[in-house]
Structure 1
Amino acid sequence: MKGHGRILREVERTLAGIPAVIRYKNIKNLYLRISGDGSRIELSVPRRTLMCDMEDFVRRRRAWIEARLRSM
């Protein structure tokens, strides 16, 4: 598959009160990571994902995010 997973656009936003880098890619699912320094989350999302869907995704995983940030 040519171009699968290639970054199409990158945006910095705050999602559910957490600084985030959003990378739009040619993928099917949303992926969540914590940056190496713990300063923000990194989301890889399908190219047509709505901001409200990303906000909901982060809200539902807030406990996981906070636990990972505490352990860093």
Structure 2
Amino acid sequence: MTRSGTNSQGNHYNTPGGTNSSGGSSYHYSNRNGSYYYANDNGSTYYNSGQGSSTYTAPGGSSSTSSSSIKK
């Protein structure tokens, strides 16, 4: 059962497994400022700032950050 809605900060969330407990279910947030965040069942996470930078954290805890310049 999928649950979704908007939290008190106005950010949209979706929990495909129906729960976002630490028991291993995945979820994601789409934030009002254009950023978004994913937490996966395997323990990895991904955050995108919406401004050209992102951070991926692997299941083992190592993280990598990338950024790109947005030219107009």
Fold conserved between structures, TM > 0.5: no
Q: Compare the two structures and name the one with the higher helix fraction.
A: 1
Range of TM-score over shorter length: under 0.3
Q: Under a length normalisation based on structure 2, what TM-score does the superposition of the two structures give?
A: 0.27
Higher Cα Rg, which structure: 2
Q: Under a length normalisation based on structure 1, what TM-score does the superposition of the two structures give?
A: 0.27
